[in-house]
Amino acid sequence: MATDTAETGAEASPPTYAQPDVDVAALKVLLDGKYAAVRDLVRTNLAAYSSILEEAETMTRDEFRDRVKKVVVEMAATGQTGMGFPEEYGGGGDIGASVAAFETLAFGDLSVLVKVGVQFGLFGGAILQLGTKPHHDEYLPDLITAQTMGCFAMTETGHGSNVQALGTVATYDLATQEFVIETRGEEANKDYIGNAAQHAELAVVFAQLEVGGKSEGVHAFVVRIRENGEVVAGVRIEDDGQKMGLNGVDNGKIWFDGIRVPRTALLNQFADVTPSGVYESDIENPNKRFFTMLGTLVQGRVCVGGGGINAAKVALVIAIKYGLRRRQFEATSEDQEELLLDYGMHQRRLFPLLARTYALHFAQEVVATQLHDVFSGTLSDAKARRELESRAAGTKALGTWHATRAIQECREACGGAGYLSVNRFTALKADTDVFTTFEGDNTVLLQLVAKGLLTDYASEFEDLDQFGMVRYVAGLGVETVLEKAGVHKLLERIKDVLPGGDEGWDQEAGLLDPEYQLAMYRFREDHMLGGVARRLKRGIDNDMNPGAVFSLVQDHVIGAARAHVERLVLEAFVEKTRALPNGDLKVALNLLCDLHALSGIEADRAWFMEHGRLTSTRSKAITREVADLCRKIRPICGDLVDGFGVPVEMLRSPALVGGR
Ligand SMILES: Cc1cc2nc3c(=O)[nH]c(=O)nc-3n(C[C@H](O)[C@H](O)[C@H](O)COP(=O)(O)OP(=O)(O)OC[C@H]3O[C@@H](n4cnc5c(N)ncnc54)[C@H](O)[C@@H]3O)c2cc1C
């Protein structure tokens, strides 16, 4: 980030402007949205268990795990963790509410959050989505109350991102009408599995199904791994031990040594094996079947993205409150040292992150609504599902990367005080770090986003592996890819906004015009996507191996996906602010939206200049505008973080945030 004032002319005295008067209560209502009551219930529960934040530092690992388990069971009794399950089993029947509850839980101890995610999201979600009524009847009532603890055993030491290559095998034994589950191969043991090391009685195990000597691909089975707390015969479990964070969750490795489960243990929503050993599925293509199964588990991804964004809010509340109290060096007065947040650099470090947190919050709201609509049946077409999967993957990637970056910057912005565990950053940093990896590694997720974009979420989407996708794109031709991805349509819109043609980019549009900002984001996305399609096609036309072509172009693929999600995030923010009635809140959110949009362009100005969309004069003007927006946000920054509604008990940090 360049802040060379001589270059940019940013040394000019700050302009005067009418400051918005932010109504914090109204802001909280806006941010909490439809599920304000659910979010408040979780806030109340978090406050009741706030002591866990301190205790986590002194408890042994076993004590911490037990404490987290107890909190999760007690929270389940309030109904907070079961909101997404059907009402007939004791759930709340509202998927949107369950996402809101989970996101809010991220204000507190994150081992509690992750244990909730494992028990209700992963384990419960798999039973609900992959199982059928007999499974629901048997397992849902007790898992919703956390009387039965379970785990979601997909990843193996040998394979994480490439789940289709798992080594665990489930063979159908016709004679006994059972499946025999076996860890086949050295690294085929399950690994990192939350709840496995101590608390889970049941596991949803993902394994290659073999029927009559034929492999039918990865399927899920319910397997009992403990009986009355003891690991059952045929199962071996090892503790994963101390982790970088989340030590209140018991992660472990699992081996299966020919353990037998009844035929009905197969979660048979998408495929079944008849007693006589016939494999049946309505989805013929094995790839499609596999991705359809995985697609039903998308809620976990939406939740982790939202959790990351809310964890970033906690860090920002602490750092901004600290910056409003902490003074260093005399600057504008000889009587008093300057507040940290009156320094331009401090504003520059924190406010773009604050603005991006707002942007991601609203983008998350869009994806959570989409999830609710798709899974409640309001939106039922297959394309909507594929778009949801892509959007969930992209928002999760950007949201969790943002959390890692924002938490680190906030820690540094609090100086030495930020390093003390009492001020929360120890746990925030350590616990959120892995959000970028679990529920899908972010880089791998962006590949999924790119695949959707390049194939326009076509029905072939799920059939295609990476190489199939390369061939598909090459076969379509660049123009068709761009046409399908809506690129030409978007470019037409850009011409409407910037009638001056290419020169119009630099001379006609105001920097604070959202249409200009969106046009820049759209141009980048379209250009990158076109470039990827062209390069993939050229490689195939030159008879290169599709895998080699993909590898060569992969950074470009990821770049295009990222540009796409950045555009979606900005659109979500612009639409939200546009819809607000005129008033101070709208003014305040417009400032944040402009700051988010322009600091995003500024961060990538080299690319925009390389591609003729920014002159050096305009680029410097953007840098000046970013600094100016930061100055405008300075008087309201305390209100803007108060609007997040992070319970004061969750802030700990008495010295940093000014006590409770
Ligand atoms: C604390 C924790 C809890 C977890 N809980 C569970 C759980 O409860 N249940 C469960 O099933 N799993 C769980 N996991 C596993 C988690 O989902 C996996 O770690 C994750 O999917 C990544 O897989 P991997 O670790 O094998 O990494 P890999 O897939 O080996 O990836 C390693 C690196 O390689 C890169 N990479 C991979 N493939 C490609 C490619 N094609 N192109 C370019 N780069 C690539 C990735 O970006 C990544 O940076 C947990 C993990 C952790 C750490």
Q: Does the Cβ of 397 fall within 6 Å of ligand 1? A: no
- Non-local CB neighbours of 587 within 8 Å, separated by 6+ positions: 20
Look up residue 18 and give its DSSP letter. Answer: P
Q: Does the Cβ of 222 fall within 6 Å of ligand 1? A: no
208 vs 285: CA distance, rounded Å: 15
Q: How far away, in angstroms, is 390 Cα from ligand 1 center?
A: 18
| CB-count exposure of residue 379 (10 Å: 0-12, 13-18, 19+) | middle
- The residue among 482, 486, 317 whose CA lies nearest residue 413 is 317
Per-residue pLDDT, 472: 79
- The residue among 64, 630, 30 whose CA lies nearest residue 353 is 630
Question: SS3 of 150, please?
Answer: strand
Question: SS3 of 93, please?
Answer: coil
Type and span of the H or E element at 45: helix 36-48
Q: How confident is the model at residue 139 (pLDDT cuts 50, 70, 90)?
A: very high
Look up residue 255 and give its DSSP letter. Answer: E
DSSP per-residue string spanning 448-474: HHHHHHHHTT-GGGGG--HHHHHHHHH
Atom of ligand 1 nearest to the CA of 190: 11
Question: SS3 of 277, please?
Answer: coil
| CB-count exposure of residue 532 (10 Å: 0-12, 13-18, 19+) | buried
Evaluate if residue 613 carries a pLDDT over 60. Answer: yes
Q: How far away, in angstroms, is 527 Cα from ligand 1 center?
A: 30
Q: How far away, in angstroms, is 130 Cα from ligand 1 center?
A: 22
Q: Are the CB atoms for 593 and 577 separated by under 8 Å?
A: yes
Look up residue 412 and give its DSSP letter. Answer: H
> In this structure, which residue's CA is closest to atom 14 in ligand 1?
192
Q: Does the Cβ of 154 fall within 6 Å of ligand 1? A: yes
Task: Please name the amino acid found at residue 498.
Answer: L
Each residue of 277-335: pLDDT tens digit?
999 999 998 988 998 999 888 999 999 999 999 999 999 999 999 999 999 988 888 88
Residues in the chain: 660
71 vs 660: CA distance, rounded Å: 23
318: tokens are 């602490």
Per-residue pLDDT, 4: 42
Residue the block writes with tokens 């906690």: 314
Q: How far away, in angstroms, is 20 Cα from ligand 1 center?
A: 45
Q: Are the CB atoms for 332 and 342 separated by under 8 Å?
A: yes
Q: Does the Cβ of 152 fall within 6 Å of ligand 1? A: yes
Looking only at the bridges linking them, the beta strands covering 150-153 and 202-211 are: parallel
Atom of ligand 1 nearest to the CA of 206: 11
Each residue of 439-481: pLDDT tens digit?
999 999 999 999 888 887 666 666 667 777 787 777 776 777 7
Pocket test for ligand 1, best of 444, 467, 470 (most atoms within 8 A of CB): 444
Per-residue pLDDT, 8: 45
Q: How far away, in angstroms, is 165 Cα from ligand 1 center?
A: 13
Per-residue pLDDT, 15: 43
628: tokens are 């100016």
Residue with the larger pLDDT of the pair 658 and 236: 236
Q: How far away, in angstroms, is 160 Cα from ligand 1 center?
A: 4
Atom of ligand 1 nearest to the CA of 439: 17
> In this structure, which residue's CA is closest to atom 3 in ligand 1?
192
Each residue of 158-187: pLDDT tens digit?
999 999 999 999 999 999 999 999 999 899
Residue the block writes with tokens 């499946």: 179
Q: Does the Cβ of 161 fall within 6 Å of ligand 1? A: yes
> In this structure, which residue's CA is closest to atom 23 in ligand 1?
160
Type and span of the H or E element at 55: helix 51-58
Q: Are the CB atoms for 270 and 292 separated by under 8 Å?
A: yes
Each residue of 67-99: pLDDT tens digit?
999 999 999 999 999 999 999 999 999 999 999
Q: Does the Cβ of 437 fall within 6 Å of ligand 1? A: yes
Evaluate if residue 503 carries a pLDDT over 80. Answer: no
Runs of H (alpha helix) within 324-441: 344-375, 382-413, 425-432
Atom of ligand 1 nearest to the CA of 251: 3
Catalogue the long-range contacts made by 620-625 (C-beta closer than 8 Å, 24 or more residues apart). 620/7, 620/8, 620/9, 621/511, 622/511, 622/598, 623/2, 623/3, 623/8, 623/10, 624/8, 624/9, 624/10, 625/511, 625/512, 625/594, 625/598
- Non-local CB neighbours of 486 within 8 Å, separated by 6+ positions: none
Q: Which H, E and C letters describe 586-651, residue by residue? A: HHHHHHHHHHHHHHHHHHCHHHHHHCCCCCHHHHHHHHHHHHHHHHHHHHHHHHHHHCCCCCHHHC
> In this structure, which residue's CA is closest to atom 25 in ligand 1?
160
321 vs 315: CA distance, rounded Å: 10
Q: How confident is the model at residue 205 (pLDDT cuts 50, 70, 90)?
A: very high
For the chain, counts of helices (H) and of strands (E): 26, 14
Q: Does the Cβ of 251 fall within 6 Å of ligand 1? A: yes
Per-residue pLDDT, 107: 98
Pocket test for ligand 1, best of 68, 438, 439 (most atoms within 8 A of CB): 438
Each residue of 472-489: pLDDT tens digit?
777 776 777 766 666 556
Q: What is the mean pLDDT of residues 575-580?
A: 97
Per-residue pLDDT, 390: 95
Q: How confident is the model at residue 491 (pLDDT cuts 50, 70, 90)?
A: low
Atom of ligand 1 nearest to the CA of 249: 1
Runs of H (alpha helix) within 184-341: 286-295, 298-323
Q: How far away, in angstroms, is 304 Cα from ligand 1 center?
A: 14
Q: How far away, in angstroms, is 301 Cα from ligand 1 center?
A: 13
For 245-269, b/e burial (b = at least 16 CB within 10 A) is bbbbbbbbbbbbeebebebbbbbbb
Task: Please name the amino acid found at residue 636.
Answer: I
The overall pTM is greater than 0.85: yes
Q: How far away, in angstroms, is 547 Cα from ligand 1 center?
A: 21
Type and span of the H or E element at 555: helix 546-579
Per-residue pLDDT, 6: 39
Q: Which of 66-70, 545-549, 561-565 has the lowest mean pLDDT?
A: 545-549
Per-residue pLDDT, 288: 87
- Non-local CB neighbours of 46 within 8 Å, separated by 6+ positions: 104, 105, 107, 108, 647, 649, 650
